[in-house]
Amino acid sequence: MKKILILGASSGIGLALTRAMLQSKCRVVGCGRNIQKLKQIKTEFPENFDYQVLDIRQTDLLTENLKNAVSKLNGMDICIISSGVSSDTSELNWETEHNIIQTNVTGFSQAAVFAAHYFIKQQFGHLAGISSVAKYFGNPNPAYNASKAFEAIYLDGLRLRLERKGIYVSTILPGFVKTPMIERQKHMFWAAKPERAAQLILKALERKKRYIFVTRRWRLFSWILPPLPFSLLRKIF
């Protein structure tokens, strides 16, 4: 029975991943702030699911909370970091930007380092982090896309360190997935349901893929966007 730690299990992609893994008889410990949602999963899967309430921004508590989570799991084969926030305003405001940086940059990297050390010690493991195709371009609300670029490059760096030790690192790059995070998004295309996203991610993790586009057609973004001149990007945004 695989033992999986998921940060951001209470909603969206993380929740769909949690459900799919529990249905395939894995043992899962899910993390997040929303205790009600975590309790709800526990009610559905009382035997194989447990949870750890944590706020990934609380740097002084995070490592201890993750240690508790892993002890509830009684080991860890896979760690998936799905927790994340985006901007809820079109204004450029520091509070929002700072929250994104604390969650997607500081919290993300602290959790990734925790998992890396754990896997190095036990000499196996698989770390997966959810970045985004937003990493390929800037956005007038800069923190979200910049944080996603940070996550992807951070995972690239960890992969260089860990793969030679037999530890896998996967970077998940979704386009649009219909979750609460993007429910107010007006212009959406190629949007996948979270269940479909979870299915694709789990299949790719099984195959130890380094880069996982969700859905696969979003790989096009990685080819088209980086060479676009600023003058054209300005027309799009």
Ligand X SMILES: NC(=O)c1ccc[n+]([C@@H]2O[C@H](COP(=O)([O-])OP(=O)(O)OC[C@H]3O[C@@H](n4cnc5c(N)ncnc54)[C@H](OP(=O)(O)O)[C@@H]3O)[C@@H](O)[C@H]2O)c1
Contact residues for ligand X (CB under 6 A)? 8, 10-14, 32-34, 37, 54-57, 82-86, 103, 130, 132, 174, 176-177, 179-182
Residue placing its CB nearer to ligand X in the complex, 126 or 179:
179
Half-sphere exposure of 167 (CA within 13 A, CB side): 28
Three-state DSSP state, 123: coil
Decide whether 14 or 124 has the Cβ nearer to ligand X.
14
Query: What is the C-alpha R_g of the chain?
Result: 17
As measured in angstroms, the least distance from the Cβ of 232 to ligand X is: 22
Question: What's the per-residue H, E or C state across 63-100?
Answer: HHHHHHHHHHHCCCCEEEECCCCCCCCCCCCHHHHHHH
From the CB of 167, what's the least distance to ligand X, in Å?
A: 21
Residue whose CB is less far from ligand X, 48 or 106: 106
CB of 165 vs ligand X, minimal distance in Å: 26
Least separation, in Å, of the C-beta of 56 and ligand X? 4
Of 138, 224, 142, 216, the closest CA to residue 172 belongs to 216
Q: Which is nearer to ligand X, 150 or 176 (CB)?
A: 176
